[in-house]
Amino acid sequence: MRLEHYSVLALLVVGLLAGCGEPAPAADTAMASEKAACSPEYWDWLVGTLAPKLDRPASEVSDAELDALIAARPASGNDPSHYGVCWSPWYNKYVYGPSLARIERAQGIYLDVNDASTFHDYALFRANQAMTPEIRRNAKALLAIKPKTGTQLAFDGWRFGYDTVVDAVLQPVGLPAKSFYTDVDEPQWQLNDVEKEYLDVLEAARPLPDSDGAWDSWLKDGLHARLFGNGVWLSFVFDTDMPYSWQLAGAEIWACDPVHHPDCSKNGDVYLPEAVRSFLDRYEATRPAALGPRDSAAWMNEFHARVFRAVADRSHHEPIADKTNELVLDVLDEVKPAALEGLFSYQTWLDAYAVSHDDALAHPRVMHAKPCVRAADAEAAASSFAQAAAPADAAPLACSEM
């Protein structure tokens, strides 16, 4: 899906998820400040002092002038809702919104068949796409006052906006045809320096969630969609039912066949192309910390499903399918929470244990992913273990309550 199809929707959703829309007018200062748990003085400073400076051209307001204003700002408060109501409206207005619009405009001019002077002009595309001095200056100023923590809702809003821009910059730069791109100037998944700068700025705006659940949403709505597809975001879909790679409307489906698609494998080994691997490293770095049982359960559910798939596919004796499944499990291992915990995670793990017990490749992975159980759930975990009639090495482990 191209950016122009959902850019307006993206702006609306980002605002709503972050707990904000346009910055509140001065008349609504008291109400907005109360909701944000920040002082009226701070909101007045945002509206009356900082925003007017951010509205002006970079040639009229320097970084040094903004640094001085920021150094003299009033106290802001520390409530996690501050990110969503007192900070992200300004970031959306002065950084995210203009960035999205500029990327979209560059794409539109590049693809405008009605203007021969600009159509398919890659040099002009790069110039039009470049970040403006105002966006760069405003991002620096707003990031200097960004709250460290935010709610899960604020994180979800940030992630949706980030994914929207990611989809735009990962698309091929070329001429879209019915089922592929022609005259490609920039391959899919390849990021140029300008696009990396936009993502750097957006990644710096990521809030640190204050509760269990944000990692869950990052995996389910973010990484899962990138790995396996959800019909919305651009994805490299691991589909071991179809062991080959093809391109459909710019979306890559990765599961390599070294005979028919030698460019998709190295000596018969399934792998992620360099540009895809580079993007995945970047995307994995945006994951928040896993903070509790819900986040652990999200990873265990995904792991459980892929272990079942790997074991089931083993009976088909398809080396490419087996290698693809192992690659998927490698990626999941990369993002596994540092501590897996919770009764639900343990019960899910027991299922994976039973299925993988006789599988030489999958079972060591399962044992390495064994979660612990808190004291309050010890009795229920012991009951689940007894019902499973599993060997002693599947017995529940107690979590430290420290």
Query: Higher confidence at residue 129 or residue 263?
Result: 129
Structure tokens at 136: 């760069």
Structure tokens at 162: 């980030």
pTM of the model: 0.83
**For 144-218, where are the alpha helices, taking DSSP H only?**
152-170, 193-204, 214-217
Q: How would residue 39 be classed by pLDDT, with cut points 50, 70 and 90?
A: confident
Kindly state the average pLDDT of the residues 280-296.
94
What's the confidence (pLDDT) of residue 228? 81
Element (H, E) at 284: helix 274-284
What's the confidence (pLDDT) of residue 316? 83
Query: Higher confidence at residue 181 or residue 36?
Result: 181
What are the residues whose beta carbons fall under 8 Å from the beta carbon of 58, sequence distance 6 or more?
132, 133, 134, 136, 137
**Spatial separation of the C-alpha atoms in residues 215 and 206, rounded to whole Å:** 13
Chain centre distance of CA 55: 29
Structure tokens at 163: 């994914």
Q: DSSP string covering 65-86, please?
A: HHHHHHHTPPP----THHIIII
- Beta pairing, strands 173-176 & 181-186: antiparallel
Kindly state the average pLDDT of the residues 317-345.
89
Residue 26 has pLDDT above 90, yes or no: no
Which has the minimum average pLDDT: 21-25, 294-298, 367-371?
21-25
What's the confidence (pLDDT) of residue 250? 33
- Angle (nearest 5°) at CA 225 between 222 and 227: 110
**Spatial separation of the C-alpha atoms in residues 32 and 332, rounded to whole Å:** 41
What's the confidence (pLDDT) of residue 234? 73
Q: How would residue 181 be classed by pLDDT, with cut points 50, 70 and 90?
A: confident
Residue 73 has pLDDT above 60, yes or no: yes
Question: Chain-wide mean pLDDT for the chain?
Answer: 83
**Spatial separation of the C-alpha atoms in residues 353 and 351, rounded to whole Å:** 5
Element (H, E) at 333: helix 319-334
75-122 pLDDT, tens digit per residue, is: 886 677 889 888 999 999 999 999 999 999 999 999 999 999 999 999
Which has the minimum average pLDDT: 12-26, 131-145, 286-300?
12-26
What's the confidence (pLDDT) of residue 91? 97
Kindly state the average pLDDT of the residues 290-308.
95
- Angle (nearest 5°) at CA 343 between 337 and 349: 65
- Angle (nearest 5°) at CA 269 between 264 and 271: 55
Residue 152 has pLDDT above 70, yes or no: yes
**Spatial separation of the C-alpha atoms in residues 244 and 242, rounded to whole Å:** 6
Kindly state the average pLDDT of the residues 322-337.
90
CA distances from 183 to 121, 173, 235, 261, 381 (A): 11, 9, 22, 21, 59
Query: Higher confidence at residue 260 or residue 238?
Result: 238
**Spatial separation of the C-alpha atoms in residues 178 and 126, rounded to whole Å:** 25
**Spatial separation of the C-alpha atoms in residues 92 and 209, rounded to whole Å:** 19
Residue in the block written with tokens 């994914």: 163
Which has the minimum average pLDDT: 47-61, 279-293, 318-332?
318-332
What are the residues whose beta carbons fall under 8 Å from the beta carbon of 263, sequence distance 6 or more?
none
Q: How would residue 189 be classed by pLDDT, with cut points 50, 70 and 90?
A: confident
**Spatial separation of the C-alpha atoms in residues 37 and 39, rounded to whole Å:** 7
Q: How would residue 148 be classed by pLDDT, with cut points 50, 70 and 90?
A: confident
Chain centre distance of CA 282: 9
97-110 and 7-17 helices cross at what angle (nearest 10)?
170
Kindly state the average pLDDT of the residues 120-131.
96
199-246 pLDDT, tens digit per residue, is: 999 999 999 988 899 999 999 989 988 888 776 777 766 654 443 333
What's the confidence (pLDDT) of residue 76? 80
Query: Higher confidence at residue 325 or residue 243?
Result: 325
97-110 and 133-143 helices cross at what angle (nearest 10)?
150
97-110 and 152-170 helices cross at what angle (nearest 10)?
20
What's the confidence (pLDDT) of residue 4? 39
Q: How many CB atoms lie within 10 A of CB 278?
A: 15
Residue 33 has pLDDT above 60, yes or no: no
Residue 20 has pLDDT above 60, yes or no: no
